């Protein structure tokens, strides 16, 4: 992710939406990593060079940038973030004017403009060059929006909450939201310095959050990722509560209230089979999509479903927001606790996971897995063995040079052996050193 590439991406997104909209304004926000300043400036240059104005909102969670894009009726929104990755990494996400991630088709249009070289010679006339404006109250607008999703009759007074902000985009907003609702907040990792985002903290490293819940005798713990679109939890005993558990008990809670439209929950192929079993026992059903919140949202919009998400803690409450939002997720979990009068451990007990093994293999290239010698035969044999008592999902990470292997089944030892066998073949043919 170089400044040169960021300039080209800025030019491409500006051209794409300048041809479609009327406002000719694009929102840019970021998380707290050091390279965000550099990429923000490069993107701004690219966008302005095409005659489109830029609205700069500074550090703000990804769902906040989605909200601001819609609220300001901008043509598009841009998020500079590598989510849960370390500070050395960075990436760029694009939203349409509706606050939705771009479709595969639009992304291909941008890629064609850049990699064909078409964008290089494109620029606007000097008198039409765009301007950049800073939106000073963006975080306040977003915070009030988030607070509006919490029931007015409920209060967090008397509740103690641990909040781990991963030194990321939620570091100012999330603790303040819970304090303003009356909670006693123990805030962790709220001092970003550009290089400590996700560093042994947040949703990828929740151990400190779990320990703090026990030490402070808190009612629950909340851990965000670097860009704030996820949340995972710890119950009052410090036990981890992941996205699958949250999706399950929130789906059942909404079903009881008659608010889970079609009695259907949308998850990805990586969610545990235990989710399906828990919903089926109460008359609900589960729809699975490809990995990625974009595909979850597409299915939710297509079928008018209220709830969906991923095991990683990316949860979409479509009645409140068009994308996953870690703070909204936490507020809805607390709302379910207060309305039911149950502790988080009690809510999470509705979910009994099927044994699952996940193995990552670092690769030197993302070659078509079907072309790896002998791998298809091994996968066929494993699928035949598992039949309807388990699943295997093999894919590449979208953000890292990793092949991800997930196998579920009733026999823990057997699926572990299978995972190691698959990993061994991939490592042999595609493995990276170190």
**Distance between CA atoms of residues 41 and 3, nearest Å:** 8
Across 201-216, b (16+ Cβ under 10 Å) vs e yields bbbbbbebbbebbeee
Is residue 83 among the annotated active site residues? Answer: yes
Which of 83, 139, 271, 312 is the catalytic position?
Answer: 83
CATH class entry, domain 157-240:
alpha beta
Under DSSP, is residue 111 helix (H, G, I), strand (E, B) or coil? helix
**Distance between CA atoms of residues 423 and 275, nearest Å:** 26
The structure's pTM equals 0.90
pLDDT of 22 strictly over 70: no
- Residue 196 DSSP class: -
The structural domains of the chain, with segments of one domain joined by +, span 3-138, 157-240, 242-328, 356-430
- What's the mean pLDDT when you consider all of the chain? 94
304-310 average pLDDT score: 97
> Do 157-240 and 356-430 show the same overall fold?
no
Which of 370, 367, 372, 355 is closest to 407 using CA atoms?
A: 355
Structure confidence by residue, pLDDT tens digits, 348-397: 999 889 999 999 999 999 999 988 999 999 999 999 998 877 889 999 98
Q: How many residues does the chain have?
A: 434
CATH class entry, domain 242-328:
alpha beta
Q: 356-430, what's its fold?
A: TATA-Binding Protein (3.30.310)
pLDDT at 103 (0 to 100): 85
Structure confidence by residue, pLDDT tens digits, 238-258: 999 999 999 999 999 999 999
Decide the pairing of beta strands 25-30 and 76-80: parallel
pLDDT of 193 strictly over 80: yes
Q: 3-138, what's its fold?
A: Alpha-D-Glucose-1,6-Bisphosphate; Chain A, domain 3 (3.40.120)
């Amino acid at each position: 992710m170089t400044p040169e590439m960021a300039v080209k991406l800025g030019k491409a997104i500006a051209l794409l939406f300048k041809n479609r909209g009327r406002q000719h304004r694009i929102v840019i926000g970021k998380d707290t990593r050091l390279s965000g300043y550099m990429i923000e400036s490069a993107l701004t240059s690219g966008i302005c060079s095409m005659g489109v104005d830029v609205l700069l909102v500074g550090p703000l969670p990804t769902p906040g940038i989605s909200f601001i894009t819609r609220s300001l009726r901008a043509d598009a929104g841009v998020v500079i973030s590598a989510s849960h990755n370390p500070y050395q990494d960075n990436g760029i996400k694009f939203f349409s004017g509706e606050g939705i991630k771009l479709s595969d088709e639009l992304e291909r249009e941008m890629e064609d403009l850049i990699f064909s070289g078409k964008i290089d010679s494109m620029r606007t006339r000097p008198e039409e060059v765009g301007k950049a404006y800073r939106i000073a109250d963006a975080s306040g607008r977003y915070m009030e929006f988030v607070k509006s999703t919490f029931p007015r009759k409920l209060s967090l007074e008397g509740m103690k909450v641990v909040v781990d902000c991963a030194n990321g985009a939620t570091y100012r907003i999330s603790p303040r939201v819970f304090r303003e609702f009356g909670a006693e907040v123990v805030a962790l990792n709220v001092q970003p310095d550009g290089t400590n985002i996700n560093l042994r903290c947040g949703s990828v490293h929740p151990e400190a959050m779990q320990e703090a819940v026990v030490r402070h005798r808190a009612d629950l713990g909340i851990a965000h990722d670097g860009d704030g679109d996820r949340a995972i939890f710890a119950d009052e005993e410090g036990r981890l509560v992941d996205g699958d558990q949250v999706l399950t008990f929130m789906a059942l809670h909404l079903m009881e209230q008659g608010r889970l439209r079609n009695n259907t929950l949308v998850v990805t192929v990586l969610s545990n089979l235990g989710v399906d079993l828990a919903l089926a026992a109460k008359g609900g059903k589960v729809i699975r999509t490809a990995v990625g919140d974009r595909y979850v949202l597409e299915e939710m919009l297509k079928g008018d479903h209220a709830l969906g998400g991923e095991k990683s803690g990316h949860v979409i409450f479509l009645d409140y927001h068009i994308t996953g939002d870690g703070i909204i997720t936490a507020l809805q979990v607390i709302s379910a606790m207060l309305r039911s009068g149950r502790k988080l451990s009690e809510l999470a007990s509705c979910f009994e996971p099927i044994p699952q093994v996940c193995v990552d293999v670092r690769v030197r290239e993302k070659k078509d897995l079907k072309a790896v010698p002998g791998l298809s035969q091994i996968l066929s044999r494993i699928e035949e063995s598992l039949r309807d008592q388990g699943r295997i999902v093999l894919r590449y990470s979208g953000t890292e040079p990793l092949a991800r292997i997930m196998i579920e089944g009733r026999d823990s030892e057997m699926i572990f052996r299978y995972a190691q066998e698959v990993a061994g073949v991939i490592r042999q043919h595609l493995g990276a050193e170190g």
